[in-house]
Structure 1
Amino acid sequence: MSARRAVSARRALFVPAALALGAALTLTACGPDGGDAAQPAKPARTTPAAPGAAAPAAPAAQPTAGAPAPAAPATAAPAGGGSARPKTPVVPATGGGAGTGGDEAYAYTHPCKADKLTVKVTTRAGSPDQRVIEVHNQSAAYCGLSYYPLVSLGSSKAPGHGGDLSPLVPGGLGGPPAYPLAPGKSTYAVVDLNPGSGGVADVDELDVLPDDQMPNSDTRNFPLGAGAKVGKQPKLGLYRESVADAAASTETAGRS
Structure 2
Amino acid sequence: MFVRRRRPLLVSVVLVAGAGLALTACGPDNTDAAGGSTAPATTAVAVTPSATGAPATGAPSAPAGATGAPRTSAPATGAASHTPSGVSPSSGTRPDGGSAGAAARPCAIDSLAIHATARAGAPTQWVIEVRNSGTAACSLSSTPGVDLGNSTAADRSKNIKPVLASGTARFAVPAGQSAYAVIDLDPSGATTGTVPGINELNVLVDDDDTNMPLANTRNFPLGSGARVLNPQMGIYRSSVAEAVTSMAAAPN
Superposition deviation, residue 119 in structure 1:
0.6
Partner in structure 1 of residue 187 of structure 2: 195
SS at 1:112's partner residue?
Answer: coil
Higher share in helix: 1
Q: In structure 2, what is the Cα distance between the partners aligned to 1:115 and 1:203?
A: 29
CA contact (8 A) 1:107 1:142 kept: no
Q: In structure 2, what is the Cα distance between the partners aligned to 1:211 and 1:182?
A: 16
Partner in structure 2 of residue 241 of structure 1: 238
CA contact (8 A) 1:123 1:130 kept: yes
Partner in structure 1 of residue 150 of structure 2: 155
**Out of 200, 221, 238, which is 1:223 matched to?**
221
Output the amino acid matched with 1:253.
A
* Structure 2, unpaired ranges of 5+: 1-83, 85-91, 93-98
Q: 1:105 to 1:245 in 2, by over 3 A?
A: closer
* 1:95-148 Cα distance to aligned partner (Å, 9 max, x none): 9xxxxxxx9766514101111111101110001110110000010000011111
Q: In structure 2, what is the Cα distance between the partners aligned to 1:202 and 1:168?
A: 20
**Out of 137, 144, 150, which is 1:142 matched to?**
137
Superposition deviation, residue 217 in structure 1:
0.3
Alignment: residue pair count:
150
Superposition deviation, residue 245 in structure 1:
1.2
| Bigger-Rg structure (1/2) | 1
Q: 1:236 to 1:162 in 2, by over 3 A?
A: same
Output the amino acid matched with 1:226.
S
Q: 1:194 to 1:186 in 2, by over 3 A?
A: same
Over aligned residue pairs, what C-alpha RMSD do you find? 2.0
Partner in structure 2 of residue 118 of structure 1: 113
Percentage identity across aligned positions? 44
**Out of 204, 207, 214, which is 1:212 matched to?**
207
Q: In structure 1, what is the Cα distance between the partners aligned to 2:100 and 2:221?
A: 36
User: Do structure 1's residue 250 and structure 2's residue 250 form an aligned pair?
Assistant: no
Alignment map for 1:42-57 (pairs within 5 Å): none
Q: 1:126 to 1:105 in 2, by over 3 A?
A: closer
* Structure 1, unpaired ranges of 5+: 1-94, 96-102
For normalisation by structure 2, the TM-score amounts to 0.56
Q: In structure 2, what is the Cα distance between the partners aligned to 1:167 and 1:123?
A: 16
* 1:193-243 Cα distance to aligned partner (Å, 9 max, x none): 001243111000000000012210010000002332111x10011111111
